[in-house]
Structures are given as structure tokens and as C-alpha cells.
Amino acid sequence: MKIQCLILLIFGCYAATGQYALRFERQFSDTLPKEAFIQASEIREHIWSTIPEDLKGGEYDRAAYRFADQNGLQAEFSSKNGKVISDWPELSDYVNQVLQNVLPDELKSDKMIRAFLNISSDFNAHMGPSGSTYVDLGVLAEIKDEATLAAILAHEVAHYYKQHSIKQFVKREDGEFDPFLLGRNTSRNSFSQDVELQADSLSIAWMYASGYNMEGISRSFDILAKIESNYISRSLEMWRMTATTHPLSSERIDALESFKAKHAETPGADFIVDPNFLKEAQESIRAIVLRDYLNSFDYSLCIERAFRYHLDDLSNPMYMYYIMEGIRRSCYLRPELWTANFISYRYFDVVETKDRTKKVPRRSNLFSSDVLGPLRMSQEEFDACPGKKYWNEVPKFFNNEQAFNYFYKLSQTYNEPECVLSCALSYADMKDTRNTLLRRYLSFEDIGYREYAELMLADSLQAALPDQKMVVFAGMTARVRQGEEDILIRGENEDLQPQLSSMLQTVLADQQQHKSLVLKDLIYTDLNDYRMLDELEDFSWLVLISEGQKTSLHTLDPRYWQTLYDFEVNEIEYVRCSYLESRKKEKTREAYAEVFQLDYDSLFSQQKRTKSVDVYITSVRDKPESVMKIRYFVRNEPLKFKDPAEEQIIDLIRLAMIRKEERAYVMDREYGK
């Protein structure tokens, strides 16, 4: 990295004169208010009361009840998964006011209709049959006006109004119901497209009645079309999107244009609730979205979206930081990407040959190729953005290494310390250069990782972590299979966490040197710890392949080391179990309800049952001469038919933990040096 060394000569002695310029991460509350919790039983009964009578009492009775129950469970899960924002009332109120504006008169008194905000970089909104609407922050990061948000919400309200989800569910021909995604098959595709177009028609009429600009619908379709095009451009095999469960954006635009032609006399407003709030909140929203890209290891999209936002706000060091971190982390795992063309390297060009049309990897750099597709911009947006100057001047960078160095240099004109740390971590294997940057980072007064940087400078990061492991009981799911239907046991109106805690303590009775906790216990009073540990568990499941160098947890993400440091351990081990008991097929709603009301004690104490267990052990580690992650799985292990399940499950967890340690010993000797 010769170019970086040159930059250090220029900036290595640069004195820090400013304060920490920007707080990248919004500080969320550590507790969830009681009103944020949704109870599955309440939602189930509400949905059940709204289901048409012709679906009750007949052949669809159990299916309709199961639909209500599964969606109640989904609503409860969504309220307690750590992703819903409960402490940004200004943003929540704003979105809910827009939602109220597009509701038809007959729904305005429905108190169950409410919007919740999800910490997610996805461009998606979903309204369940309970009336709960979940809006990903990725939506609010991309839109430029209220009318576009209103159009998205109106479409989801239309599905709720027409009860599309229950009708689609009871018409299924086969397949297990998934509360997060209805199973797809060819026979349902045309039905899905029909209801999407029907929802479009209703939302168009409601938008018109609300007074919002109809162009908001066009803009929402345009964003979806850009996302579709971007996805196609990154795929070697895909040439065009096909209409499966959703019509293509082009088809939906045609229907809208027909309506607009008949109502051209009423242009509508882009803003009704507040003309300034969205723009003022968007910087904080985009920070959360970019952080979510990093946390979900989608480094390429983090770079692309951060650069896109940078083009509109050239002096904002936050976007420079996320560009740098996206590059640094992707290149830490794949060093060859340092020389890959910035952004454009992962796209394909369509070329014509004598025999056929084919896709080939894009060789040109971002400044001499299609920029609109990778950045999801229209020509009008591109022409109007301040960042167009990059294309009007001699290019300042071409590949990832040059871009990293350019944005580091640019960030220092704004005295941004976190970009200094990012640069330091890019020299993980060059201590002298790294330490020069660390000292500069520590010269700033307001920084995010002071103790981390001090210990790294002293080469004591791993030594500062006690040689101790914390076992986290991440979850136990228990299901009873009646015929082909799986019913989740949740002990209706009971708190099952004490039972889970008791099981974990029994497992660890002979391992007193380990700390332990039940993950769900944290969500009520230690929400930020819950989110961090939950993210680390997600990380423990990922198969990350590092090419050319040994990776360490503390270099990949300082927050991961900080979490181990705060809990005073150098390893966090996650235990997750799944219990399945098979029974004969039942057809009645009553038989379904009887099962899900079982508690764990009753279920696990039963004898003469066909049952099996999955045990998943994963861990993240930051200790010398050790690999970063270990995984050990036991799948579909049959339990003794005549004996109760609990002791067998405990014994199996203990055995899996022993086997995991044996695997760790082997892998550390082979790959940990």
C-alpha cells in the first residue's frame, strides 16, 4: 500500500485542533417501555375477530385460526427482537401522521393501525393483518418527500383493507406457513400479482383523496425499479426481473399514468405534515442505515450508499467514514479487493458477440462507465448533485485503495478522528505505521474507542481480556408437529424464561468457571447489550472466508472487542436448541389451541413420544493463537421414546459443548498460529 505511506508522510504530523465532529451512532435507550410490547394472544384474538365468517366453522376454520395465531406470534416477535425503535417519538409520530393521512374514512377509527420503525437498511414496509405496520429505516433514508412515503404506506393499507393475506393463506394448496414469508408456488403467482395491482388501485385513489402529490407513487415505483436494475447488473445469470408474486414496476407505472391522465387538474402536495422534518432527520437515519449495512456484513452496499449520500453532501465526514469502513472491512477479509475498481468491480456489462449476447465483468472504473445503475440515480439526480464534479474533473481515484486514501485525506480537512482509527486498522500488520495513526487518533479529545486504541498501541488488546468464557443461552424453540403442521409452544400467558434459565444452570453446574446468561433476559432492561450480543450471534453463524491473512475479532470491528471487554471474557459461546415432537394429525381449531398452551415443563415431562432435538453451539473468540469463530451442530438427534425429554436435552447440550471444545482445540492448532 505505497500510496497510503505517502499520505502518512503528508498527514502523519497533522495536529488535531477540532472536536469530535459527528456522533455516527444514535444512542438508543437501554429499556423498552411496556407499551412497546405486543402480546401474541391479543393480536390473535383481534385478527380472529376480523376474519370473514365464511372462513370460520367450516373447512378453513383451523387454517384461519392458525393464520391469526401465527401472525400474532410474528407481531410479538417483531416488538421484542430489538429492531423496533421505541425511543424516537418525533420520527414515529411523523410517520404515523402520514399513515393517518392516507387512511380511508372507514379505517380512521381502527386503533390497531399503527406504524413502527425498524432498524434495517432494506427498502421495505409491511402491514400485517393486525394493523401493525413496520417501516424499515432504509425507506426513510432514500425518499425525498412525504408523498413517496404516503404512497408506500397507502399500498400496505390497501392489503390490510382487502384482507389479502388471509385470503392468500387459506387458498394455499400445500406447504408450511412461514410467518415471515408465505411459501411460494406457481399456482399462487397470478393471484399475488392480481392483489398487488388491486392494492395499487386502492392506494392511488386514497393518495388522490388525501391531497398528496400523485408523483409520490411514481417516485416509489422508480426507487423499486432502480433497485431491480441494480440487482440485475450485479448478477451474472439474471437478465431481467420476472413477475412472480409482485408485478414488475413498469406494469404498475402504466396503471398509475392512466389514472393521472384523468386527474391532471389536482397536482397535490409533496408535504402535508411537515415540510422540513424528513430532511432534518435524514442524516441520523442514514447513519443508522449505513451502520446496519456494516453490521450485516454487506460492505459493498455500505460503500455504494455512503458514496451516493456523499455526492449530495460533500462536506459530511460521516459518509467518508462509512466509505472507508466498507472498504477496509471488505479488503481485510479479501485483500485482493484493494486493487479492484471502486464500486464498479462487482458489476457486469452486456456485450454482443457473433454467437450470442453475454455478460462480462465490468473492467472500466466508475468514472468512465455507467454510474446511474450502481448508485441508483436518475440522470436528473446526477446532473443536480454537487458530487457531479468528480466526473467533470480529472478522477481523484480509481480503485478501492486509492478511494480509501482519498477519503481519509478529505476527512482530515474536517478533523474527523474516527477516520483516523479506520486508517490505523487498515495497517493491522504494519505496526509502526498503525501506531503513528493510533497516536494521532488519541490526540483528539472526543473519540469513540479511547481505551481500545490505547491498548492496541500497547499491543495489549487480547491480554486485557480475562481468559474466561461466557455461555449465552440464545433460545429454545419447542414445536409439536400435528400431521404436517408445526405448532410453536409458548405457554400462553406464562413467562418461560425461568424454565430456560433453570435448564442452562443445570447444564453449567459442573462448569462453574463460566459466566452465563439467558439472552432474552436482557431485552427488558439492557436492550443495547441485547442488540450487541444478538448481532454477535449472527456473526458467529456466518461463514467468512479470509484470504491471505489471519483475521482477528478486534481488528474487524472494535465494538466486538469492546463487548468482550465489558463482559470480562475472551469468548462468548451461544447455545440454541430446537425441540420437535411428532403427533398424529388433528383437524380442529381446539386441538391446535390445546397444544400451543402447553408449557415446557408439561411438554418435556411427557413420555412415550416421538421426539428429536437440534443443538447449535457457536462462539466468537479473541485470544492469542486461536481462530476467531467455532461452530458445532447436532441436527435431528432422536430422543428415547419412553423417557422424558428434559434430562436428555441437558445431556445432549453438555455433550455438544464438549465436542465444540474438542473441535476448537484442533482448529486452533491448525489455523490459530
> 185-214: per-residue pLDDT in tens?
333 333 366 677 777 788 888 998 999 998
Identity (one letter) of the amino acid at 525? T
DSSP 361-397: E--S-GGGS--HHHHT--HHHHHHSGGGHHHHS--S-
Task: Please say whether the beta carbons of 330 and 299 come within 8 A.
Answer: yes
Q: How confident is the model at residue 512 (pLDDT cuts 50, 70, 90)?
A: low
In the beta sheet, which residues pair with residue 582?
481, 610
Task: Please say whether the beta carbons of 195 and 162 come within 8 A.
Answer: yes
pLDDT number for residue 192:
61
Across 599-621, average pLDDT = 89
pLDDT number for residue 187:
31
How far is it, in rounded angstroms, from Cα 12 to Cα 440?
A: 8
- Of residues 221 and 259, the one with the higher pLDDT is 221
How far is it, in rounded angstroms, from Cα 664 to Cα 662?
A: 5
* Distance, C-alpha 577 to centroid of its chain: 23
pLDDT number for residue 4:
44
In the DSSP assignment, the letter for residue 34 is: G
Q: How confident is the model at residue 658 (pLDDT cuts 50, 70, 90)?
A: very high
How far is it, in rounded angstroms, from Cα 204 to Cα 197?
A: 10
Residues 364-382: tens digit of each pLDDT: 999 988 889 999 999 999 9
Which residues touch 296 (CB under 8 Å, ≥6 apart)? 121, 538
DSSP 312-368: H-TT-HHHHHHHHHHHHHHHHH-GGGGGSBTTGGG-EEEEE-SS-EEEEE--S-GGG
How far is it, in rounded angstroms, from Cα 346 to Cα 363?
A: 10
Strands (E), 128-251: 132-136
Q: Which residue matches cell numbers 420437535? A: 580
Q: How confident is the model at residue 563 (pLDDT cuts 50, 70, 90)?
A: very high
Q: How confident is the model at residue 490 (pLDDT cuts 50, 70, 90)?
A: confident
Question: In this model, does residue 284 exceed pLDDT 90?
Answer: yes
How far is it, in rounded angstroms, from Cα 167 to Cα 121?
A: 30
pLDDT number for residue 176:
36
Q: Which residue matches cell numbers 449530495? A: 312
Q: How confident is the model at residue 250 (pLDDT cuts 50, 70, 90)?
A: low
Highest mean pLDDT among 102-106, 319-323, 580-584: 319-323
Across 534-562, average pLDDT = 85
How many beta carbons lie within 10 A of that of residue 601, not counting itself? Answer: 13
Question: In this model, does residue 548 exceed pLDDT 60?
Answer: no
H-helix or E-strand containing 4? helix 2-11
Task: Indicate the average pLDDT of the chain.
Answer: 85
Angle at 646 between CA 66 and CA 525, to 5 degrees: 70
Question: In this model, does residue 8 exceed pLDDT 50?
Answer: no
Q: How confident is the model at residue 543 (pLDDT cuts 50, 70, 90)?
A: confident
* Distance, C-alpha 10 to centroid of its chain: 39
Residue 303: strand, helix, or coil: helix
Question: In this model, does residue 42 exceed pLDDT 60?
Answer: yes
pLDDT number for residue 171:
63
H-helix or E-strand containing 310? helix 299-312
Question: In this model, does residue 234 exceed pLDDT 80?
Answer: yes
pLDDT number for residue 489:
86
How far is it, in rounded angstroms, from Cα 290 to Cα 298?
A: 10
User: Which of 672, 605, 592 is closest to 644 using CA atoms?
Assistant: 605
Identity (one letter) of the amino acid at 49? S
Which residues touch 69 (CB under 8 Å, ≥6 apart)? 40, 44, 592, 596
Q: Which residue matches cell numbers 388525501? A: 210
Residue 496: strand, helix, or coil: coil
How far is it, in rounded angstroms, from Cα 364 to Cα 166?
A: 49
User: Which of 451, 457, 458, 461 is closest to 424 using CA atoms?
Assistant: 457
pLDDT number for residue 262:
58
Q: How confident is the model at residue 173 (pLDDT cuts 50, 70, 90)?
A: very low
Model's pTM, two decimal places?
A: 0.89
Q: How confident is the model at residue 495 (pLDDT cuts 50, 70, 90)?
A: low
DSSP 217-256: HHHHHHHHHHHHHHHHHT-SS--S---SSS--HHHHHHHH
Question: In this model, does residue 567 exceed pLDDT 70?
Answer: yes
How far is it, in rounded angstroms, from Cα 1 to Cα 113?
A: 55
Residues 108-127: tens digit of each pLDDT: 999 889 999 999 999 999 98
Residues 53-93: tens digit of each pLDDT: 888 888 888 988 998 998 898 888 888 888 999 889 999 99
H-helix or E-strand containing 670? helix 646-671
Question: In this model, does residue 9 exceed pLDDT 60?
Answer: no
Residues 381-432: tens digit of each pLDDT: 999 999 999 999 999 999 999 999 999 999 999 999 999 999 999 998 899 9
In the DSSP assignment, the letter for residue 212 is: B
How far is it, in rounded angstroms, from Cα 645 to Cα 611?
A: 8
Question: In this model, does residue 300 exceed pLDDT 50?
Answer: yes
Q: What percent of the chain has pLDDT over 70?
A: 85
User: Which of 316, 328, 334, 305 is closest to 421 using CA atoms?
Assistant: 328
Q: How confident is the model at residue 288 (pLDDT cuts 50, 70, 90)?
A: very high
Q: Where are the domains of the chain?
A: 34-262, 297-457, 469-671
pLDDT number for residue 545:
62
